[in-house]
Structure 1
Amino acid sequence: MTDTAQVQAPARTGLYIGGTERATTSVLEVRDPARPDRIVGEAASATAQDVADAVAAAKQAFPGWSSLTPQERAAQMADALAGLAENRDDDAAILSQEVGKIRLEAWVDSLVFELRWNLALALADDVDKVTVLEPAPGIPVTTTIGYQPLGVATIIVPFNWPVAILAASLPHALLAGNTVIVKPPPSAPLATTRIAQRVAEQLPPGVLNVITGPDSEMSGLIEHEDVAKVCFTGSVGGGRRIMEMASRSLTRVTLELGGNDAAVFLEDAVIDDTHLDRLFAAIYDTTGQICMNAKRVLVHRSRVDEVVAGLAARLERTVLGHGLDEGTTMGPLHSPDQKTFVESLIAEARDSGATVMEFGELPGGDLAGGNFVRPAIVVDPDPGLRVVTEEQFGPVIPILPFDTEDEAVRLANDTWAGLCGSVWTASTEAANRVGGQLVCGYVWVNDHGATRLDLRAPFGGMKQSGMGREQGLEGVRAFQDTRSIAHLDEQALAAQQH
C-alpha cells in the first residue's frame, strides 16, 4: 500500500498574475497515473482573459526590472529561493503523485531547479559584457556590440521533469532582464505552480507570473503581440504547433523537443557493473520518459550478449508500483495513451520475430488500473520497426548489433532526431572520433542521461530535436537581442581622408 504518511491532502493552486493569486471558476483535475480514479489536486483553469492579463502584467513590470543591473537582478533572484528547500519534501510528494515517477526522482526535480538557478546567477557579470571593435582601414568608427533583453517571455514546460526543466531557462530569462509567464503542464501543474509562485512572491509584481489551463485557452501566451519569446520543451508535434503559432507575430522561439538518442558501444567498451548501472539509469529513469534518455543501444556484435545480460539482471530487480511506495523502483507511465503506444511498440516487435524480454510484475489491488507497463528489451530488431525509428518514451529499449565503426555512426545518425548521444569505449581517441561524427547537440563518453548533464553547458538539439540552446551563457543570450552602437572616430576619419 502507498505510504499514506507522505500523501498530501488534495493540492489546490491558483493563477499568479501581477503579484496576486487569482482563483478561477473552472479547474483542472489532476489524477494519479498509478491510480487514475484518485484526484491528486486541482489547478486553476485560466481563460483567454486571464492570459491577456498575465501578458499585460509582465509588460508593465518589464521597464522596472530591465532597468536594474544584472547584479541587482541576481541579488533579488538569490533571495527569491528562500524556503525552497524547506518545502522540498511536500513538493516531491505532490509531484510524484501527479507525474507518476518515484519519490526520489521527484525530490531531485526540485533540487535541480535550485542548482540551475544558482549556476545562472553566477553569470551576472557576463550578461551585459560588451565587445568593442576599434576603427579599421576604411571603417572610421568605434563599434560597441552589446545586448538588451527581449521583453515578455513565455516558458512552457512538460510533465516529466517540469521543475528542473523550468530552471534550464527561467533564471536565464530573468537575469537577462526579461519578465516571464510560466505555463506548467496541464496534466501535472501542481508542484511546478507551487514552486514558481513561491519564487514569484519574492520578486517585484509582474516579473514572474504563472498560468495554468487547457491548451485551448493558451494561444495568447504565444500569439500575443507583446510576447517577445517563447521557450517550449515537449514533443516534436508540439514544437511544430508552437512554431506555427509564433510565426504569426514573428515571435522568437527556443524549442527543446524529443530525441532518439543512440548509445554506441564500441568493441573495446568497458562493460562492468559501474557502466551497466549508468546505462540502465540512462534508459529506464522516469520509466523511460526523458527526452535525453538512451532510446537505441548500438553494440558491437561481439559484445551484445554482455549488454543484454547486464540490463536483464538489473531489470529482474524491477519493482513496479506507486511512486510513493517504499521499495518501488519504477512507476507508471504518465498517461493511458502513452501506455497504449508503448505496449503497441512491444507487441509489434514481438510479432516481427524479434527477441522481446519483459520483466517485473504488474501491480494489482488498487493499482490494477494504473498506467503500468512491464519494462522490456528488444534484441536485434529490424531497423525499420517503430521501436527503433520512433521515440518510445517508455521502458523499452532496442539493442542493435553493428560490425564496424562506420556502420555504428551511420546507424546512430540515421534518424529524424539529434538531441543527444553517447560513445562507450576505453579509447579517448575513439570517443572523440566517433563522438565528433554524431549529429546531435550533446555527447557523453562512457555515460548517458539527465543525471550526468553538465548544467553549465549549453543544451539543445539538432534536426527535429529542436532549435536554440538553454543553460549557460548561451541560455542567457537566447533571451537577449544583440545591439551595435557605432561612434564616428573623427581622428580615424581624418586619417582616412588624407
Structure 2
Amino acid sequence: MQWSSAQAVMAHLAAHSVRHLIDGELVGSESVDGIVNPSTGEVCANSPKASFEQFNEAVSAAVRAQKAWAATTVEDRRERLSAFADVLSEHAEELGALITLEQGRPFALGMGEIQRAATLLNAVIAIDLEDETLRGKGPEKVYVKYRPLGVVGAIAPWNVPIGLAVPKITHALYTGNAVVLKPSPYTPLATLRLGELAQHVFPPGVLNIVGGGNEIGEAMSTHPDIAKISFTGSIPTGRRVMAASAPHLKRLTLELGGNDAAIVRHDADVERIVPQLFAAAFVNSGQVCMAIKRLYVHESLHDRLASLLAEHAAKVVVGDGFDPKTQLGPVQNKAQFESVKAVLREVHAHPDARVLVGGHAREGAGYYIEPTIVAGLAEGTSLVDQETFGPVLPILSFTSDDEAVQRANASNFGLGASVWSEDIRSAEAIARRLVAGSVWINRHVGVDPLVPFGGAKSSGIGHQFGLAGLRDFMQPAAIYVPT
C-alpha cells in the first residue's frame, strides 16, 4: 500500500480500525473519539475510548504479568525489545503516515520519528544493568541491587507521539516493569497501531496500550497498583499528576514544559548559524519542549541575525504534511492553535513589538500559523515569559554575558539551553552557569541515549536515558555483606 496521501491512510483506517492492547488481546470500545486531521481541521478517523473497566483490566493484566517478566534475564528482555525495535523499523512508513495524518508533521519527518525511536531503543538496551558496588574492601562489602518497581503508567503527549512513547516503554520494560500506556487523545492512532504490531513481541500483559482522555490519565495517577508514572506534557498537568499520585507515594518521571533560552555571543558566526537556529526553534512547528523559545543575541549582532532569520523563515514552505514540498506542518490541535493566535494578538498590540516576518494564522482550513520572528519585546510579555509552543520566536538583545545568563535563568522553566560562540572555552563557562537539565554549545535540541535527560526547576522531575534514567525506573536496595 502507498501511504502517500491522507485519503489513502483514512481509507486504510476505515477498513482496519485501531484497537486497545489489553492482556495480549486487541479490543475495541463502545465509545470512540473523532480524531482531527490538523491540516484540514476535519475528523479523519475514529479511535476507541477505553472505559474504566477496560483500564482496570489493563492494570490487572500488567500486575499479573510483571513478576514473571521481572524474573526473566536482562538478555531475554533485551532480545524482546530488540525485536520491538525491528517492528518499528519495518513499519516506519505506515506509522509515519499515521503521525502525519493525526499530528501534521511532514511525512519524511514522521518516518524519521519512528526510525529515531528504534535507534534510541537499541542504544538504551545496550546499557548494562548491574549491581553497584559501593565498598569492596574492609570488614563489610556493600553493594546496591536495583529491582523493578512493578507497573509503570505511561502518559504520552501529542507533539511527538511515538518518539516520546517508545522511550517510556523501553525504560520500563528493560528494567523489569510492566506497562500501561495511554497516548494523547489528540494523537492515538499511531500508538494504538504500535500496540497491535507489538502484540506478539511481548508476553500478554507486559505491554498494554489504551486510548482515552484525561479521565484515564487521572485514573492512572490514582490507581493503587501503579507504582510509577512517566508523564510528558505541560507543567500544570504535571502538577496535577503529582498531586493525584501523592496519596500512594508513586515514583514519578515528569518531563514538563520548556522555555529554552539560546545565547548568541558577540563572536558567533551569524551567517553559519542562522539555519541551525531556525531549525532548533521551529522544529515540528515549534511544538517541541526542548526547542529554542527565547533567542538572546548580543547587541552587535542582533539586527543582522534577526534580518537573516526573517529571510530564512520567509522561504519556508508551510502546508499539508503529505505534500513533499512541505517543510513545516500545522499546529496540532485547535486549542493550541487558538492559544498561539492569542499570543500573536498580544504581540500586535504591544507598542514595542516588531514582527519581522509572519505574524498571522493562515486563512482557510487547517491550523496553520506563519513562521513568525518578533523583535523589540522583553521579559514581562507572554511570548518571552511563557512557552508558546508554536512557530513564533522572540529575539532579544543583550549587552554582556552576565546579563544574558541572568535573563536566561530568570524563569521557572529549566529544560534546555544553548550557547553559540566561536570561543568554546568561554561558551562552556557560560553553559556551566545556566540552570537547565541540558545545555548545548553551538547546537540545540536532541538527546543522547547514554546521557540522562530531564528538566530543572518546573521543567520536570527525574530522568530518561543513560544509566541514571534507567535507574529512575527501579528501586535501589543496599545490601551489606560481612567479609
Structures share a fold, TM > 0.5?
yes
- Which amino acid in 2 is paired with 1:18? D
- Which amino acid in 1 is paired with 2:230? C
- Cα deviation, 1:470-489, whole Å, max 9, x if unaligned, reads 01111110111101122334
User: Does residue 291 of structure 1 match 2:289?
Assistant: yes
Decide whether the 8 Å contact of 1:333 with 1:394 is kept in 2: yes
Counterpart of 1:460 (choices 439, 454, 458) is 454
User: Does residue 115 of structure 1 match 2:111?
Assistant: no
Report the counterpart of residue 482 of structure 2 in structure 1. Answer: 488
Following superposition, the deviation at residue 203 of structure 1 comes to 0.7
Decide whether the 8 Å contact of 2:417 with 2:436 is kept in 1: yes
Gaps of 5+ in 2: none
Following superposition, the deviation at residue 155 of structure 1 comes to 1.1
Counterpart of 2:472 (choices 468, 475, 478) is 478
Q: How many residues align?
A: 476
Q: How far apart, in 2, do the equivalents of 1:54 and 1:313 lie?
A: 51
Q: Cα gap change, 1:271/1:98 in structure 2, threshold over 3 Å: closer, same or farther? A: same
User: Does residue 220 of structure 1 match 2:222?
Assistant: no
User: Does residue 176 of structure 1 match 2:175?
Assistant: yes
Decide whether the 8 Å contact of 2:34 with 2:45 is kept in 1: yes
- SS of the counterpart of 2:186? coil
Q: Cα gap change, 1:362/1:340 in structure 2, threshold over 3 Å: closer, same or farther? A: closer
Report the counterpart of residue 279 of structure 2 in structure 1. Answer: 281
Q: How far apart, in 2, do the equivalents of 1:260 and 1:119 lie?
A: 28
Counterpart of 1:129 (choices 122, 131, 142) is 131
Q: Cα gap change, 1:455/1:404 in structure 2, threshold over 3 Å: closer, same or farther? A: same
Decide whether the 8 Å contact of 1:317 with 1:360 is kept in 2: no
Bigger shift: residues 161-170 or 437-446: 161-170
- Which amino acid in 1 is paired with 2:384? V
Report the counterpart of residue 318 of structure 1 in structure 2. Answer: 316
- SS of the counterpart of 1:323? coil
User: Does residue 45 of structure 1 match 2:41?
Assistant: no
Report the counterpart of residue 160 of structure 2 in structure 1. Answer: 161
- Which amino acid in 1 is paired with 2:305? V
Q: How far apart, in 1, do the equivalents of 2:9 and 2:199 lie?
A: 26
Report the counterpart of residue 41 of structure 2 in structure 1. Answer: 36
- SS of the counterpart of 1:77? helix
Q: Cα gap change, 1:4/1:181 in structure 2, threshold over 3 Å: closer, same or farther? A: closer
Decide whether the 8 Å contact of 1:40 with 1:94 is kept in 2: no
Identity, % of aligned pairs? 34
Decide whether the 8 Å contact of 2:20 with 2:195 is kept in 1: no
Report the counterpart of residue 495 of structure 1 in structure 2. Answer: none
Q: How far apart, in 2, do the equivalents of 1:432 and 1:473 lie?
A: 24
Q: Cα gap change, 1:361/1:225 in structure 2, threshold over 3 Å: closer, same or farther? A: closer
Decide whether the 8 Å contact of 2:99 with 2:161 is kept in 1: no
- SS of the counterpart of 1:81? helix
Decide whether the 8 Å contact of 1:319 with 1:361 is kept in 2: no
- Mapping 1:82-121, distance limit 5 Å: 82-121=86-125
Q: In angstroms, what is the RMSD of aligned CA positions?
A: 1.7
Report the counterpart of residue 207 of structure 2 in structure 1. Answer: 208
- Cα deviation, 1:244-294, whole Å, max 9, x if unaligned, reads 111021111110000010010000012124x21111111111111100000
Q: Cα gap change, 1:467/1:217 in structure 2, threshold over 3 Å: closer, same or farther? A: closer
- Cα deviation, 1:163-217, whole Å, max 9, x if unaligned, reads 1112333212111111111111111100112123322421111111101112124
User: Does residue 236 of structure 1 match 2:230?
Assistant: no
Bigger shift: residues 340-349 or 467-476: 340-349
Report the counterpart of residue 266 of structure 2 in structure 1. Answer: 267
Q: How far apart, in 1, do the equivalents of 2:231 and 2:217 lie?
A: 13
Q: How far apart, in 1, do the equivalents of 2:213 and 2:182 lie?
A: 10
Following superposition, the deviation at residue 233 of structure 1 comes to 0.3
Report the counterpart of residue 388 of structure 1 in structure 2. Answer: 384
Decide whether the 8 Å contact of 2:218 with 2:241 is kept in 1: no
**Large movers: runs of 4+ above 6 Å:** none
Q: How far apart, in 2, do the equivalents of 1:14 and 1:72 lie?
A: 27
Counterpart of 1:344 (choices 342, 358, 363) is 342
Report the counterpart of residue 496 of structure 1 in structure 2. Answer: none
- SS of the counterpart of 1:169? helix
Following superposition, the deviation at residue 311 of structure 1 comes to 0.9
Q: How far apart, in 2, do the equivalents of 1:362 and 1:352 lie?
A: 18
Gaps of 5+ in 1: 490-498
- SS of the counterpart of 2:164? helix
- SS of the counterpart of 2:41? strand
Following superposition, the deviation at residue 4 of structure 1 comes to 5.7
Report the counterpart of residue 19 of structure 2 in structure 1. Answer: 14
- SS of the counterpart of 2:478? strand
Decide whether the 8 Å contact of 2:151 with 2:177 is kept in 1: yes
| TM-score (norm. length: structure 2) | 0.95
Report the counterpart of residue 325 of structure 2 in structure 1. Answer: 327
